[in-house]
Structure 1
Amino acid sequence: MKIFNPFDRAHGVDISDFMMRLVEARTTKKGIEIFAFHEVPIDPGIIQEGEIKNYAKAKEQLERLYKKINGRVNSPFAIVAVPERKTFTKVVQMDALPPAELAEAIRWEAEQHFPVSLEEMYLTWSLLQTSEKKHTILLSATDKSLLEQYIELFADVQKHIIIAEPESFAIQRALLGQSTIPTLIIDLGASKTSLAIVSRGIVQYTSTISFSGRELTLLIAKELNLKEEQAERAKTLFGLNPKKSKGVVRDLLIDKFSPLVQHINEVLQYYQTNFDQSQPIQKIVLCGGGSQMEGIHTFLSETLRLEINNPIPLINKNKKMGSKFTEKKVLSFTTALGLALRSELQKPFQMLSKTV
């Protein structure tokens, strides 16, 4: 008899302040096979920093996401991303303990590291390495009120959340896979920019700054008297390239990048100073809609003096959905794609990792 596995073909859903994105996928020998994908825009104010401010409108948009999808969703089970600002993660080493004592010890350990009461968070953990004397454990705590909002929202459209994880975990899975090279991931989003340092195959540190792609678009629209759609196109096509549009767009935007560059340098310095056995960051990976901006790779590489390397996951183009899931889509759907691939890592009934 076949055992029911809710993770079989579970799909990933990424909800940001201005967009909802969905992907159902799995890995094959010929690359990632895409079964379904779609995105719908969200009007400003419906969701703010991940929190649902207008429940009725959010439900309406989620229904549209499922109704207009490219392909067909084969499962009612969803894996969702939680904004970095609403999560805490920490890699810890603990004495090896019997299973009966481990849960209580993990909870005590989490209380020492996380700056909020565990009564307000969902605490999950994953065992990364183990030996006779030591366990290396990844702790993750998620804002309880936010996650309960998401669970209710999905239930209202007849879907069920089985895993919630930080955005950075999904992005790492989609772009880096099993790579152990010390890497800085920069997710340039419409409402914020998130940084994640990955070393030894683990997200070691994350940070978020209110550097917004949409603010850049609105600046271009205002200064050049363009509609927002035209300004978005100008930002993407001309961006920071001094040779495009006679450098007009670059001149408008260049000073706005100073806080971002400063924050990136501060994060790199903090990591190098405060993490034991930290290895120097060897490369940067860009994703998010802002990563498609003309000239952004060259600008950051020259400014930060680090290699910019965008590993694009191999999509099986022989399949119908794969041919539609272009490289541009991969960069925008990175989080949703990584969430979808999480389903392959689970065993039957191992929902929401381990909760203590």
Structure 2
Amino acid sequence: TRRGIFMQALSRIEVPENYIDSGIIKNRKGVLALLQKMLKETIFGKITSREAVASLPEVKTFAKLIAVDYSGKNLGRAVEHEMEKHIPFDPHDINYDWQLIKKEGGIKKILINVAPKNIADDYAGLLIAAGLIPVALEIEAVSICRSILPPAHCAKGTTFIVDVGATRSSLIAYAGGSILFTISLPVSGKKYTKIIAEKLGLSPEKAEAAKIICGLNQKAAEGIIAKILEEMTSELVKKIKTGISYLNTHYPEFGHVSQIYLCGGGANLEGLDAILTKKITIDTSIGNIFTNIEMSQRQENKYFQEELATLKKIAANNRHTQNFSPTFAVAVGLALRNIYTDEI
């Protein structure tokens, strides 16, 4: 609207582990049923549009800023040729798009986004089966940046975004209006839970509860849970430092990392932001997915106050959603695509 961008509806549903494995849909019928249910049973609001923008699984996609030395008229052909040197897929089996980010004489800085054709076709087919119209499929990293960073993000240096998901995590490097690269990380919410369960002989349910209640708080449970989690957090720190070294070696022109944002359900782990700030000496905080939504104006609206009350009630009854916002980073970014598609 003229007053800004507003959230019309919000929905969420849990997906059983065996339905999707490493981004590959294993139980199509089951996933389709969940998708249809999620469209009908929203947390608040009503979904009226049939158009859909969906994300492709991070583990099956690739994004990188590459340099193309070319001054001719067919830049697209030059991008294809250069891209083959960087992508981990057979070039004949992919869908891709690219965006010109910067010109430096004959050198063009190009952001490439790549996904296997079979994965893209599978996800698009699922949307169609659910009665939706696929407008676009994009990689998660792009959606996350769009939700957390303002369109004209111009922070000095480079921004890192660490997406800690339930089954996988990734690091996104962003600078100069573009994603520079992404890196897979050796941690996940479920991996944290599994380690706690194994170390203390707990059931998965009790281990999950211990993780949520104690986190990295040294004062909780005599610091036992924090000590276990710190072992894995050390792996995360090492990988982030590797990303910093890679940035300094391959993209020195974009400057040092000035900020780290956390998102994904794992971002809720108590004390994670403080630990990363201390060990990496770079300010780390949970990313605000409402950066590009007019929250102040919405809060003055009685209807939205009811929406907020609903979300707070859910959070009070379910510790898993005590800070729900990082979990919706990808979804919010996807919803904003047609508004900010040129900026991020």
The TM-score with structure 2 as length reference comes to: 0.83
SS at match of 1:34: coil
1:215 Cα shift? 2.1
Instruction: Determine the C-alpha separation between the residues in 1 that align with 2:270 and 2:110.
Output: 40
Q: 1:222 to 1:309 in 2, by over 3 A?
A: closer
Instruction: Determine the C-alpha separation between the residues in 2 that align with 1:107 and 1:170.
Output: 24
Instruction: Determine the C-alpha separation between the residues in 2 that align with 1:293 and 1:250.
Output: 10
Q: 1:86 to 1:287 in 2, by over 3 A?
A: same
Q: 1:208 to 1:280 in 2, by over 3 A?
A: same
Cα pair 2:143 2:337 within 8 Å, conserved: yes
Q: 1:127 to 1:28 in 2, by over 3 A?
A: farther
Instruction: Determine the C-alpha separation between the residues in 1 that align with 2:50 and 2:96.
Output: 24
Cα pair 2:68 2:82 within 8 Å, conserved: no
SS at match of 1:40: coil
Structure-1 residue corresponding to 2:335: 340
Structure-2 residue corresponding to 1:185: 161
Q: 1:128 to 1:246 in 2, by over 3 A?
A: same
1:258 pairs with 2:234 = yes
Instruction: Determine the C-alpha separation between the residues in 2 that align with 1:220 and 1:114.
Output: 36
The code of the aligned residue for 2:337 comes to: R
> Structure 2 matches for 1:40-59, cutoff 5 A?
40-59=13-32
Instruction: Determine the C-alpha separation between the residues in 2 that align with 1:261 and 1:346.
Output: 32
Q: Which residue of 43, 48, 64 maps to 1:90?
A: 64
1:227-268 deviation per Cα after TM superposition (whole angstroms, max 9, x unaligned): 544533432232001022321321232212222221111121
1:271 Cα shift? 1.5
Please, which runs of 5 or more residues in structure 1 have no aligned partner?
1-26, 348-352
Q: Which residue of 24, 48, 61 maps to 2:34?
A: 61
Bigger relative CO (Cα 8 Å, ≥ 6 apart): 1
1:182-229 deviation per Cα after TM superposition (whole angstroms, max 9, x unaligned): 111111111011101111121101011241211222343455565544
Q: 1:262 to 1:346 in 2, by over 3 A?
A: closer
Q: 1:135 to 1:254 in 2, by over 3 A?
A: closer
Q: Which residue of 156, 172, 175 maps to 2:145?
A: 172
Please, which runs of 5 or more residues in structure 2 have no aligned partner?
313-321
The code of the aligned residue for 1:153 comes to: L
1:35 pairs with 2:34 = no
1:273 Cα shift? 1.2
Structure-2 residue corresponding to 1:241: 217
Instruction: Determine the C-alpha separation between the residues in 2 that align with 1:155 and 1:84.
Output: 21
Instruction: Determine the C-alpha separation between the residues in 2 that align with 1:154 and 1:339.
Output: 14
The code of the aligned residue for 2:273 comes to: H
1:342 Cα shift? 0.7
1:119 pairs with 2:95 = no
SS at match of 2:233: helix
Cα pair 2:192 2:229 within 8 Å, conserved: yes
SS at match of 2:147: helix
SS at match of 1:328: coil
Cα pair 1:96 1:131 within 8 Å, conserved: no
Instruction: Determine the C-alpha separation between the residues in 2 that align with 1:133 and 1:261.
Output: 38
Q: 1:275 to 1:130 in 2, by over 3 A?
A: closer
More strand by share: 1
The TM-score with structure 1 as length reference comes to: 0.81
Instruction: Determine the C-alpha separation between the residues in 1 that align with 2:2 and 2:169.
Output: 32
Q: Which sits farther off after the overlay, 89-98 or 274-283?
A: 89-98
> Structure 2 matches for 1:261-280, cutoff 5 A?
261-280=237-256
Instruction: Determine the C-alpha separation between the residues in 1 that align with 2:86 and 2:164.
Output: 28
Q: 1:280 to 1:330 in 2, by over 3 A?
A: same
Cα pair 2:217 2:271 within 8 Å, conserved: yes
SS at match of 1:73: coil
1:10-44 deviation per Cα after TM superposition (whole angstroms, max 9, x unaligned): xxxxxxxxxxxxxxxxx8645x4111111111111
Instruction: Determine the C-alpha separation between the residues in 2 that align with 1:166 and 1:238.
Output: 33
> Structure 2 matches for 1:140-219, cutoff 5 A?
140-177=113-150, 178-181=152-155, 182-219=158-195
Q: 1:145 to 1:310 in 2, by over 3 A?
A: same
Cα pair 2:165 2:188 within 8 Å, conserved: yes
Cα pair 2:61 2:115 within 8 Å, conserved: yes
Q: 1:278 to 1:230 in 2, by over 3 A?
A: same
Q: Which residue of 326, 329, 333 maps to 1:331?
A: 326
More helix by share: 2
Q: Please, what is the CA RMSD of the aligned residues?
A: 2.6
Cα pair 2:146 2:340 within 8 Å, conserved: no
Q: Percent of aligned positions with the same letter in both sequences?
A: 27
Cα pair 1:84 1:206 within 8 Å, conserved: no
SS at match of 2:234: helix
The code of the aligned residue for 2:56 comes to: V
Instruction: Determine the C-alpha separation between the residues in 1 that align with 2:64 and 2:252.
Output: 13
Cα pair 2:170 2:182 within 8 Å, conserved: yes
Cα pair 2:111 2:179 within 8 Å, conserved: no
1:270-294 deviation per Cα after TM superposition (whole angstroms, max 9, x unaligned): 1211224241101111111111111
